[in-house]
């Protein structure tokens, strides 16, 4: 009895150390590092500014506006509650996803322990604590850390229900699965694959499995009806494939190897050969392990990992690495279990050292923001530039994107005007998926902006490049109107380095001087 208690405390002590390791490697996420551009306390990008904006609304306004957002409401509601209790400072707010990220280390331990044993649980939690993808989003004011935590708990109690068939476990599985569905739509992919695998590997209990999932499907109906994007199916374009592409995609097709690479290497965009090599090696190792150690549990994890990609490819045509994040859970457990399958002690130690080196390299490589994403963090330098160069009577003409980030970083004296909304028609039903309650610039309504700019000698205007990524002015009517009626005297770009793939353009307009 005493030995058992001592052993349990030893495992708990090791788990605490692993959590501390996870905390230490996540602390740098409280800063934003862009080599040669930014090295400061955390800089929020637009989606995070949107989260803060939602959290600052009264509850009725929050409830009404969330139906148009591209994510379910749970994280926003929790952030709203968190802000009202603990305050609205940025450091305080980012503690919420940070806590979920740390808690996931513990939940992954219990999940892996339930599937295999405590030793594999500790190893899986160690690998998870060093997961570059999870570290990258540990302080992101979005739903990803919450999603991972809830999915890991859903898996935990789903596995317990499958193994022990206890009502308590099934009830907790239902609760955490529903919460994950109300956190992000990629949870639909997880649930679909998990449900199919439960039926396939445990077909003699299919009636129980169906009965457990029935309330999940039923209780998800309110979210289905609440979210306006779902309504596009009967509000205009009912073609299923374009609907999913419009609703959840940024366009294009996702490489399968990017999925495999991201699960281990994180969100860094490596050179093509590294991407191919990393993805191929990972697939090869996973396949060999699943073949030689074809234990039922390993095969379950194997199909969960690969099934995740298939589900994501169906739901969304292109996925950036953050959408893969929930499938890092089975990956770290699979790797931990595969390591314990090695019988030779020296080989096992060598493999562990190599894995730790790999995780350490990827954690370090993901510290800095990639070149592709640098433009997202333009706000501090852009607004500082305006403050240093503004003149009395200047106007900052901004869209909804910049209007949300401006209060956090602009401290100057220029007048600020949001050029939308105006008294033009809202987006049509088949556009609502992209523009929600925004009004959209057209040839007919762009002239209404004249009322904003006619009393100012100089106008600062942000313009996203490429122009097609602009939300409220996708066709460039506004910038063309400004060029026709004002004199564009200076163009500035953020970031200003030549390697940046996408940049934010800041244009300074002045009134034409009439001789």
Residue 39 has pLDDT above 50, yes or no: yes
How much is the average pLDDT of 419-429?
Answer: 46
Query: Can you read off the two tokens belonging to residue 102?
Result: 């740390």
Q: What is the pLDDT of residue 436?
A: 42
- Whole-number pLDDT of residue 226: 75
Over residues 113-134, mean pLDDT: 95
pLDDT-based confidence at 22, cuts 50/70/90? Answer: very high
Helix (H, G, I), strand (E, B) or coil at 459: strand
Mean pLDDT, all residues of the chain: 81
* Cα distance between residue 362 and residue 261, in whole Å: 11
User: Which of 116-130, 230-244, 341-355 shows the lowest per-residue confidence on average (mean pLDDT)?
Assistant: 230-244
Q: Give 474-507 pLDDT, tens digit per residue.
A: 678 888 899 999 999 999 888 776 666 678 889 9
- Residue 471's pLDDT band, with cuts at 50, 70 and 90, is low
Rounded average pLDDT over 180-208: 89
* Pick from 51-55, 176-180, 275-279, 511-515: least confident: 275-279
For the cut 60, the answer to whether the pLDDT of residue 113 exceeds it is: yes
DSSP string for 400-423: HHHHHHHHHH--S--EEEE----S
Q: Decide: helix, strand or coil at residue 376.
A: helix
pLDDT band at residue 373, thresholds of 50, 70 and 90? confident
Q: Using the predicted structure, report yes or no on whether residue 224 has a pLDDT greater than 60.
A: yes
More confident site: 477 or 158: 158
- State the CB neighbour count (10 A cutoff) for residue 375: 22
**Is the whole model's pTM more than 0.85, yes or no?**
yes
* pLDDT above 90: residue 175: yes
């Amino acid at each position: 009895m005493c030995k058992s208690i001592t052993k349990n405390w030893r495992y708990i002590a090791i788990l605490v150390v692993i959590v501390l390791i996870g905390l230490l490697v996540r602390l740098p996420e409280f800063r934003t590092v862009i080599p040669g551009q930014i090295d400061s306390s955390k800089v929020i990008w637009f989606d995070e500014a949107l989260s803060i904006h939602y959290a600052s609304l009264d509850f009725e306004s929050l409830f009404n506006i969330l139906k148009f957002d591209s994510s379910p409401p749970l994280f926003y509601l929790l952030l709203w509650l968190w802000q009202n209790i603990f305050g609205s400072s940025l450091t305080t707010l980012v503690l919420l996803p940070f806590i979920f990220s740390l808690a996931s280390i513990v939940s992954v331990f219990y999940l892996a322990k339930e599937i295999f044993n405590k030793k594999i649980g500790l190893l899986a939690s160690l690998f998870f604590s060093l997961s570059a993808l999870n570290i990258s989003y540990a302080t992101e004011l979005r739903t990803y850390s919450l999603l991972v935590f809830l999915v890991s708990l859903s898996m935990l109690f789903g596995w317990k229900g499958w193994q022990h068939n206890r009502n308590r476990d099934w009830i907790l599985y239902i609760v955490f699965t529903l919460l994950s569905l109300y956190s992000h739509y990629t949870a639909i992919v997880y649930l679909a694959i998990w449900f199919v695998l439960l039926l396939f590997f445990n077909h003699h209990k299919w009636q129980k499995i169906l009965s457990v999932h029935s309330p999940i499907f039923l209780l998800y109906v309110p979210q289905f009806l609440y979210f306006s994007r779902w309504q596009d199916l009967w509000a205009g374009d009912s073609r299923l494939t374009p609907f999913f592409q419009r609703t959840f995609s940024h366009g294009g097709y996702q490489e399968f190897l990017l999925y495999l690479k991201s699960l281990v290497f994180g969100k860094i965009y490596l050179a093509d050969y590294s991407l191919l090599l990393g993805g191929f090696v990972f697939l090869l190792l996973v396949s060999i392990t699943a073949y030689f150690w074809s234990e039922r549990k390993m095969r379950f994890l194997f199909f969960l990992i690969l099934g995740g990609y298939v589900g994501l490819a169906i739901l969304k045509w292109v996925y950036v690495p953050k959408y893969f994040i929930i499938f890092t859970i089975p990956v770290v457990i699979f790797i931990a279990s595969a390591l314990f399958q090695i019988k030779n002690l020296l080989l096992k130690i060598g493999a562990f050292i190599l894995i730790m080196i790999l995780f350490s390299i990827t954690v370090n490589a993901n510290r800095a923001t990639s070149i592709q994403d640098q433009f997202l963090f333009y706000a501090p330098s852009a607004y500082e530039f305006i403050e240093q160069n503004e003149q009395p009577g200047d106007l900052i003409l901004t869209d909804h994107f910049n209007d949300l980030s401006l209060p956090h970083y602009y401290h100057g004296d220029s007048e600020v005007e949001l050029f939308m909304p105006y008294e033009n028609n809202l987006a049509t039903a088949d556009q609502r998926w992209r523009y929600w309650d925004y009004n959209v610039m057209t040839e007919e309504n762009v002239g209404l902006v004249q009322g904003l700019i006619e009393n100012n000698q100089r106008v600062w205007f942000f313009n996203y490049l490429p122009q097609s990524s602009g939300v409220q002015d996708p066709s460039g009517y506004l910038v063309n109107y400004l060029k026709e009626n004002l004199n564009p005297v200076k163009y500035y770009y953020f970031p200003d380095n030549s390697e940046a793939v996408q940049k934010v353009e800041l244009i300074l307009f002045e009134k034409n001087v009439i001789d």
